[in-house]
Amino acid sequence: MKRAIFFATIFSAVVISFGWVSCDNDTDMKDPNPFMLQKENYVFLKNSNYYLEVQKKRSPEYSDPFEIEDVQRIDKEMHIEVSYPTGCASNNFEIVWDGIVMESYPPQTRLFVKRTAEECSKSDEREHRVLIVDLEEIFVKLRQGDPNLHDAIFIVSNASKRPSTNNADIPVTSN
């Protein structure tokens, strides 16, 4: 009986250890095809590791605060209107994608928008900017003409906000 308890304890410890190791290795996996595209007023990044970091850490402490005012899909472009406090020497935006298209009908994919600002002085005034994502250029070329992306719902998330019922992520479709 003692021998059975001993082996059951050892077996349980091994199973739990494998669970911890497999969870820890998720962050060590490398994106096989990362991609970066510098646009006029943002950088587009396809990087699953960075996407997971943004998803996990999204908050006003991680991304400088801003608002997503509107998201529209016009033909093969997505227009993301953002607003943020004036008074910063630089405001850089990143649009982060993990490259995954959910197999649903219609298909869905998620993007994060992140802001990095430098040398800011306090201001109540706001600046507006429209980030225009050329879906044909970015997504279709990256996925070798995947027809699912033409009808996909894109869920645009603000990396400076934690998800809640008040700060819902914004879906946009081709309709």
CATH of domain 32-172: 2.60.40
Report whether 77 contacts 132 (CB < 8 A). Answer: yes
Report whether 172 contacts 72 (CB < 8 A). Answer: yes
Q: How far apart are CA 37 and CA 63, in angstroms?
A: 20
Closest alpha carbon to 52 in 91, 25, 71: 25
Query: What local confidence, expressed as pLDDT, does residue 35 receive?
Result: 83
SS (H, E, C) 68-101: EEEEEEECCEEEEEEEEECCEEEEEEEEEECCCC
Instruction: Locate the domains of the chain by residue range.
Output: 1-30, 32-172
- The type of residue at 130 is V
**Cβ count near 154 (within 10 Å):** 23
- Flag whether pLDDT at 52 surpasses 90: yes
**Residue 29: pLDDT band with limits 50, 70, 90:** low
- pLDDT tens readout for residues 32-45: 778 888 999 999 99
User: What average pLDDT does range 28-57 have in this prediction?
Assistant: 88
Average pLDDT, the chain: 80
User: What average pLDDT does range 78-97 have in this prediction?
Assistant: 94
- Flag whether pLDDT at 114 surpasses 50: yes
- Flag whether pLDDT at 26 surpasses 60: no
